[in-house]
Amino acid sequence: MQIIPMRDLKNTVEIEKKCAEENGPVFVTKNGYGRLVVMDIDYYQRTMQSMEEARMVNRGINDYEQGRVVDGKAALKKLRDKYGR
């Protein structure tokens, strides 16, 4: 985990290098307290994708627990009847 002081943000080349090396977020502090997080765009996109996938899985689990399910064979038959396949 990389932690840098706010004043080091001026050196953007070095920050970019640290983000690439870390393959994760770089934490920026101000007066010893966390203020910002800087990360490589690829890492950000992977993180957002993982979060979206987890959200969808949780939504599916919630639907199942609430009884919002449909029998697979019945659903396929309904689609075939509707679209003539």
Please tell me the pTM assigned to this model.
0.72
Which burial class, exposed, middle or buried, applies to 26 when counting CB atoms under 10 A from its CB (0-12, 13-18, 19+)? buried
pLDDT (average), residues 80-85: 88
Kindly report, residue by residue over 19-56, the tens digit of the pLDDT.
888 888 999 999 999 999 999 999 999 999 999 999 99
**Looking at residue 37, what is its pLDDT?**
95
**Looking at residue 22, what is its pLDDT?**
84
- The CATH classification number of 2-83 equals 3.40.1620.10
Tell me the Cα Rg of the chain: 23
**Looking at residue 21, what is its pLDDT?**
87
Amino acid at 50: S
Domains of the chain, residue spans: 2-83
Instruction: Decide if pLDDT at 77 tops 90.
Output: yes
